[in-house]
Chain A
């Protein structure tokens, strides 16, 4: 009892400021970044540019980051989200080229992504490999398999006239005024956000991430939940893979890995800047927005393209600094 009063008293105004910085930190950061780029580049604050951010960069990264958020919430990480995307993409393109209907090919794509997740689940829950190492292995194996299947990494094109209309719709159509990829990203975000907060599965996944031993001692078969989580991660990533293929009408081996680092970044930004320090879909989405805007804004400045990664890195340092300030205030030091 005396401990908590001590903290409250010591934290004082400093603590209040830091706590609200943290609570609204992501939104504040978004506003600041937004303001800066609006001021220094003429093209940033234009409808065309903002649309391009939301339509081109945002949806795919958001979907992959949500998948990553599940893996992180369960106490692990999934380095093979790109692999699941690629396998979904490859399965789809191969089946379409083999003359299968689009629906069958798309289902096979989703199944391929889930299969990558199931392979991770097998390694993690049955054999007991740590998620980091298991999915790193899957990442390497996946890359080799793709090279073997494509004669050393050659792209596989969908025939220009052979792309069915329905699939073109997935990549370029609109749904209730939203571009389809964005609409799908929003649907997945809402569904998974509900899942985290309002379902038994979400609660248990988060609890496992926080303290697996207690979950086990509560009579819950934690490995089964972790396995289900990784299959789900593969499945969500596969949706991303299909959208990517629908947009570019080509399967490029190992192209999904391009999203990996940003997805990890967005997830940890969202986790770090949430009041309880827990992985959460809302935070992840804000993290994705932040990363997308910084990348886009830097592109519009006259800076060399290669400064973009410096921008991302600086952003992550800033987030760490903010959470550090808060932790100091929170511990009453």
Chain B
């Protein structure tokens, strides 16, 4: 309850801050919409030259795109800004201010900034998701949709965990950005359907850095016959990754010297 109240204050503060820079707020909304448009256009251009991609027709692909745009919007709204600043706090020694507060520092640092502009774009992503469902030719049951949404939310949490795993090495390496740039480069792989990957690359993006589990596998779970075992595995993997994050976070805090570099 205490954490919920605190999160309410985070929200209030974030919206107030966003409204102070209204032009920037507006620009950020437009920027995200252009990002969505570029992604949609990319697949549209590809489907001008092929009827199928990775075993999916265009309307199936739109379901996948809508899924990952929804994941992206949620991640951008809730976590992304916070993860962006975390390596700098560690590197400059600003983490001290968060360690002395009577709340979990990981909670505070992960959720303190709510991206108000991305929240607006979340509605755009939801709108596109609904459009994708209306374009989808195959009939589906409501429970399939519910599980798809549940899996996408699980994907957002998994993405957050993976992102943190690229940031936490900042405790040991002298870098202002951690491996965040590398994460942004690699996360691009999750924006493509998993079936295009083969061999070791497929293993890499499914088990080692499970970017395919964020949006691609959930889309498959929605379109293929439902498999409860896969669903359980998804959630299990997210829990394992969260456990790894917590372990490294604790080890990192023990190594944290507070002095800026």
* A and B are partners in one complex rather than unrelated chains: no
Interface residues, chain B, with chain A CB atoms under 8 Å away: none
Listed in ascending order, the chain A residues whose CB lies under 8 Å from chain B are: none
